[in-house]
Amino acid sequence: MLAVRGVTVRFAGLTALDGVSFTVAPGSVHALIGPNGAGKSTCFNVLSGLCRPVAGTVRLGDTELTRLAPHRIARLGVARTFQNIVTTEGTVADNLMLGRHVLTRAGFTAAALRLPGAVREQRAHRARVREIAELVGLDAHFDTPVTALSYGDRKRVEFARALCLEPDVLLLDEPVAGMNGAERARTARVIGEVRARLGLSVVLVEHDMGLVMRLADEVTVLDFGRPLAHGTPDEVRRHPEVLRAYLGAPTAPEETPVTATDARQGDAP
């Protein structure tokens, strides 16, 4: 279980997160939504160790993550993607192998000298990387340079690289941003399959409310860094405070439910 309790983050007097709490049950998909500037990415930075809160805690099982360095959090089983695509030069296989770095036991000297133990380990990692590429639909591009891929495929490379870490918790920061309709549907299907087959927990930041409603078990809404609502997708989209935050209307929730079309307009989540 990933438990976030009372997390507060301030930057030069600006409060980016103010007492944020939520729990991600094992094997569930938990969506974190809110308008631009609500604090979603800051929350991800706290969860992955890139930002330290001034108050509050983050625990994965019995282990507190709040003061740990990013590489130690990654080693404990928390992997993430970013809003913007982050890939290196080389092939899809090269990029996915980078995701195995915290799992590699052979030292630099053994790898450079290609000692038998290091070679065996490298082969095992490459075989696992190929399996993950097949899982996310990148097997046909395994030896293709990343620069030759479409935008949607490059987003999936980053997704697959995070999976190569063998995480218990996967943080997906806007995984379908910039994709066309077909790519969005395909990515949503892959996320569902990965969750089912690998049994990992997913924390999802996404502006596509249609995808959130299909995938999420629970949703936490942030507004100006503060928790605004929490519940199932259906409960959240009918919550009066959520309607006021996104639609600017005091209308009763049953009269004006938030739809996927509404949510894709303006600053909707």
**Same domain for 178 and 146:** no
**Same domain for 57 and 188:** yes
Q: pLDDT at residue 239 above 90?
A: no
**Same domain for 131 and 241:** no
Pick from 248, 22, 62, 82: which is nearest to 168 by CA? 62
Residue 260's pLDDT is 39
Element containing residue 7 per DSSP (H, E): strand 2-11
**Same domain for 41 and 111:** no
- CA–CA gap between residue 230 and residue 261 (Å, rounded): 21
Share of the chain above pLDDT 90, in %: 57
> Nearest 5°: phi and psi at 14?
-90, 125
**Same domain for 131 and 177:** no
143 DSSP 8-state letter: T
pLDDT, tens digit, for every residue of 24-34? 999 999 999 98
Residue 248's pLDDT is 62
Q: 237 with 209: CB under 8 angstroms?
A: yes
Residue 57's pLDDT is 96
Taking residues 253-266, what's their average pLDDT?
42
Q: 81 with 95: CB under 8 angstroms?
A: no
**What angle is formed at CA 36 by the lines to CA 215 and CA 239, rounded to 5 degrees?**
55
Burial class (CB in 10 A: 0-12, 13-18, 19+), 260: middle
Structure confidence at residue 266 as a pLDDT band (50, 70, 90): very low
pLDDT, tens digit, for every residue of 109-129? 656 566 666 677 778 888 999
pLDDT, tens digit, for every residue of 184-233? 888 999 999 999 889 999 999 998 888 898 899 999 999 989 999 999 99
Q: How far is CA 148 from CA 138, 142, 153, 202, 265, in A?
A: 13, 12, 10, 29, 32
Residue 12's pLDDT is 86
> Considering its fold, how many domains does the chain have in total?
2
Residue 163's pLDDT is 95
Residue 83's pLDDT is 83
Burial class (CB in 10 A: 0-12, 13-18, 19+), 14: exposed
Residue 84's pLDDT is 82
The mean pLDDT of the chain is 85
**Same domain for 157 and 69:** no
Q: pLDDT at residue 171 above 80?
A: yes
**Same domain for 214 and 185:** yes
Residue 80's pLDDT is 93
Domain that holds residue 213: 1-77+168-269
Q: Please state the pTM of the whole predicted model.
A: 0.83
Higher pLDDT, 153 or 88: 153
Q: pLDDT at residue 36 above 60?
A: yes
Q: pLDDT at residue 265 above 60?
A: no
Q: What is the CATH number of the domain that holds 7?
A: 3.40.50.300
